[in-house]
Structure 1
């Protein structure tokens, strides 16, 4: 049965309904307008009563408004073209009550109820709670590609990875966002307090909240408010959202920008208004995400391609014109920002594609099978809602409930195309990570909401009355126990990972920061690269590097670099020439070299005795120096050869914290995190 809801503005709860042909309704409306009769009967849907292939005969469905305030009659006489509800006399209800049927929801978004406003407002409180609860490490990207650079911009010291130093493949737009918080702390002399760690979390809570609010508005754009509230509930209880959206990685900002771009996107080419500010803002957000994460081009290109595919020639030309104008303007602004940050003409997206596609640097960090996103990432990201997402994705040939329309199905088909084309595009790249498809999570939540609400509606089709509650309970009560159970699984796992999985890799920096400067003279991290945050959490200027001299050092994992120093310059610097290396299989980074034989590495590259003055390490000539403090994983301490060397030198354990009950790399990261101090 095909349903085509009519626009309806009433927030009222609908009771018994009846159906009448459009022609009869038009005649009645004309007569009632002449009599100036007001009524609480309202047209709430247009539907076809046949599902057996017979010709489609539209009929109006009338619902009784239970509010005490009558609605004024509309000026239009046509029930088909009216922009809002048709008001029919109450007397019609008594004539047609015997044909009462289930009423249909409107397609437009009705005014929000008090409960909905509270739900939407509560998002601002939900993510700060998660951020305060989060004490664990997830990926080095959340520190070294954002906070560390922000700290460097404001305080003039910090760690720059190869992406920011030689390759220049990262845009400073994302770090600039957090720089404002660091600057406020600096001018208020509060940078020595715990606010140094808390303020970036507050800024990230804004991004996380934008993802949830964007998901709600995206669902309103694709469907209606019945689905949007359910989509909001799915977003708030989504495992991957709870665990990753609060992380300060660029993927979270990319997701927020693309979600709002989709919320403003013209999904239906037949109702496209290219002069609308929404379309211009949507395209601008797409290019903003591209500057921050150039890989988002796979997402946005599929979105634009589908719109062009379904548009006529004139619309295609208009779309291309806007893309050229906004794209050129955005890229030019990006070029100015990149060049200002790096001090020379630079366009980071060009460098990014050159290094990852031409030089295949990303392959150095691992490759995965072609089905990785389908067999691992897709199920893991959706977790307990995975079956629900699949049900929402299929089928999309006809409306699956009275709440859907053919118009909405067309838009959902576009969204599904974006999902699968993006996943297929990323599947062609050898290096794959879960976070690469994080921008698809809002769409996953919307399709999960579609399945939930449609199931609720179908279960009520046999009833004589369907109450439309525009609140969370009304959207989910059909499977409330099931929804609660799945939410507990999702949020429970997220809570565990945020609290008990790798927390010591963060807390160790708090311990080191608490030590007075005269005790903490130097630090060495004998652990895999980027295992802990750096100066964004430590904030010790006396440990900042001085050229190639490093009072605080780590085992790096730089790839075999092979590039021009700048994407817009052909001359290579002498330093970059040093990094022209053999193929990946013949290259071993510093961390891998250490873990091949830790005992041999310590004996070969470190002095036989500890210098009590703790001079800085100079890695440019392989001149390692023993620091006053060492940070290691317990797995390294358990190696008898390494432990004997360190104990003979005078190192003793002064701090230890449990890190996790299980480890993805137990040989390198197993056990607790330990701090060793040299004692004469």
Structure 2
């Protein structure tokens, strides 16, 4: 029976009042949350707590200065060396640049830094080495913060904290995230793009921003498309307005980004070329990267992935079983990336670095659900990762950088620029080059370009040298006048070339520790020999 206008019904009034009160509370709650979010954006940095942001930046800057070792040649030869040539008109371009497999967009970032330093008169060699790395450290710090913010949106602050801790204590992240590698830039851009990707529960999704970051990552390193293929297909499949997404988001962003890349390469190559296509053709379709070594198909599963994850591996596996369905796309991306790279002959640890932040999400999810074992698990991660991070960052393979500090002293100070010359008798690209010397010193190294002509028995210059080092040196340097003033070599060659050193009046000028794990052509120490002649001033010093 409907109540009359004048009737009084206590139950109905209570129900009505309770309902109104609940709605009012919800409205106030939403308003408070919105106000809190606005205050956070207004008073914080990057939308997060200011202290958290400053701590992360400070940690990555410290990280930068505590990594004083070399990893792979590309961190110098495909970035800083190219940038040095772009700005100062001297520097060495490897065969990849003559074959137009690399684009100038990435080195242009460092060239811009070099140009500013040059205009300010601050282009000292130490600034040229460290400022690009500090820039990469800052970008990696922003990527760390964005990963934390994303997980906080998807789950809660507790899970986000554990993901953040896993990310910060990863030895491989510490080892790589401040290096001037295309893989490092690719990883940072991937983490930033993921923040704007339309994952279920995300409040920061933005199709234009994430597609722009993905496009930039592909310009820097074309293989960045590999981990993003599953994510892009998922977005396209779930998007109701597919045509709008394609025509008004993906195509404009892709066209603008790759057009800029094309124009930049046109300026510096002097002709139109699509380096991304050349890169994929060489490394993926033709698989010519195997010239630098090949591995069995299971290498990433049996060695690469376990080494990169380190002691995070059991937590990653545990987290895969616990993670909610909406995070399965991240797991699929990791597995897809491992599968694709496993099909290529040439494999390296750094190639799968871009999916490491994805893995940290599952590791953090595992730790958040361990409850009573959290502190023990965190202690285990810290005790197993921190020593390894310090060892690889400060000890292992540091000699090739330390020796360049010595070579800087060889730079001619007088009016005769040809008074000194350096020959590096080492596996090719073992050391950085002009970017770490910053003077037009006459230098030479053993070259190792791959065979692009199809010869069955191809030996590069480095291979021919190591077949018989003494004979090669005697044939190469016919007269004393052609001898370099300085020789740089690993200690494993000392006995083999001792006759040449004696006849050329070479004496050891300096020795640098390199590694506790020498192998084949790479020794534990690096020796610098200087040619002593009567009446000649020592150009190197100790």
Give the TM-score range, shorter chain.
0.7 to 0.9
Give 3-state SS (helix, strand or coil) of 2:400's partner.
helix
Superposed CA RMSD in Å reads: 2.8
Q: Are 2:530 and 1:673 equivalent residues in the alignment?
A: no
1:307-335 CA-to-partner distances (Å, cap 9, x unmatched) read 334x26x4333333332232222222221
Task: Indicate yes or no: 2:211 matched with 1:283.
Answer: yes
From 207, 218, 224, the counterpart of 2:139: 207
For 1:509 and 1:118, the matched residues in 2 are separated by 38
Confirm or deny: 8 A CA contact 1:392 1:448 kept in the other structure. Answer: yes
1:140 is aligned, of 70, 73, 76, to 73
Determine whether 1:318 maps to 2:244: yes
Structure 1 residue 110: Cα displacement: 11
For the residue of structure 2 that corresponds to 1:247, the secondary structure is coil
Compute the TM-score of the two structures, normalised by the length of structure 2: 0.88
What aligned pairs does 1:33-432 form with structure 2 within 5 A after superposition?
73-75=25-27, 117-164=50-97, 166-192=98-124, 194-268=126-200, 278-309=206-237, 311=238, 314-321=240-247, 322-396=249-323, 409-432=324-347
Q: Distance in 2 between matches of 1:293 and 1:650?
A: 47
How many angstroms apart in 2 are the aligned matches of 1:512 and 1:533? 11
Counterparts in 2 of 1:75 and 1:387: CA distance versus 1, 3 Å: closer
- Which residue of 2 is the match for residue 594 of structure 1? 465
Q: Which residue of 2 aligns with 1:632?
A: 489
SS in 2 for 1:135: coil
1:514 is aligned to: 409
User: Residue deviations 1:408-467, cap 9 Å, x none?
Assistant: x232011111111111111111111111111101111111000011222xx5xxxxxxxx
Q: CA deviation at 1:116?
A: 5.3
Distance, in Å, in 2 between the alignment partners of 1:198 and 1:162 is 26
Q: Give the Cα separation in 2 of the matches to 1:453 and 1:508.
A: 46
Match for residue 556 of structure 1? 447
Give the drift of 1:636: 0.8
1:49-107 C-alpha deviation (Å, 9 max, x unpaired): xxxxxxxxxxxxxxxxxxxxxxx72349xxxxx96799xxxxxxxxxxxxxxxxxxxxx
Are residues 1:645 and 2:492 paired?
Answer: no
Q: Which residue of 2 aligns with 1:610?
A: 480
1:490 lines up with 2:361 in the alignment: no
Q: Which has the larger radius of gyration?
A: 1
Query: Which ranges of structure 1 fall in alignment gaps of 5 or more residues?
Result: 1-25, 39-71, 77-81, 87-107, 397-408, 460-477, 544-550, 562-580, 612-624
SS, match of residue 673 in structure 1: strand
Distance 1:554 1:37, change over 3 A: closer
User: Unpaired runs of 5+ in structure 2?
Assistant: 1-11, 534-542
Would the alpha carbon gap of residues 147 and 516 (structure 1) be closer, same or farther in structure 2, given more than 3 Å must change? closer
User: How many Å apart are 1:488 and its aligned residue?
Assistant: 2.6
- Quote the residue 1:505 is aligned against: 400
Offset at residue 288 of structure 1 (A): 0.7
Give me the whole-angstrom Cα distance separating, in 2, the residues matched to 1:645 and 1:29. Answer: 101
Deviations 1:492-536 (A, max 9, x none): 111111111111110111111123515961110000011111111
Instruction: Give the Cα–Cα distance (whole angstroms) in 2 for the partners of residues 37 and 342 of structure 1.
Output: 67
What SS does structure 1 have at the residue aligned with 2:431? coil
Among candidates 563, 582, 602, match of residue 454 of structure 2: 582
Q: How many residues align?
A: 510
Q: 1:279, CA displacement in angstroms?
A: 1.2
- After superposition, the Cα gap between the structure-2 partners of 1:28 and 1:149, relative to the gap in structure 1 and judged at 3 Å, is farther
Equivalents in 2 of 1:216, 1:28: separation in Å?
44
| Whole-Å separation in 1 of the counterparts to 2:104 and 2:14 | 64
- Separation (CA, whole Å) in 2 of partners of 1:205 and 1:532: 22
Deviation at 1:283, TM superposition (A): 0.6
SS in 2 for 1:254: helix
Residues 315, 417 of structure 1: alpha-carbon distance in 2 compared, 3 angstrom cutoff = farther
- Please give the alpha-carbon distance, in whole angstroms, between the structure 2 residues aligned to 1:27 and 1:636: 95
Q: Is the 8 A contact 2:125 2:438 kept in 1?
A: no
How far apart are residue 272 of structure 1 and its match? 9.9
1:129 to partner: Cα distance: 1.1
- Residue aligned with 1:530, SS: coil
- CA displacement, residues 253-303 of structure 1 (integer Å, 9 cap, x when unaligned): 1111111111110023xx899xx9721110111111111100111111121
Distance 1:109 1:388 in 2: 35
- Whether the 8 Å contact between 1:221 and 1:263 is mirrored in structure 2 is no
Deviation of 1:629 (Å): 0.6
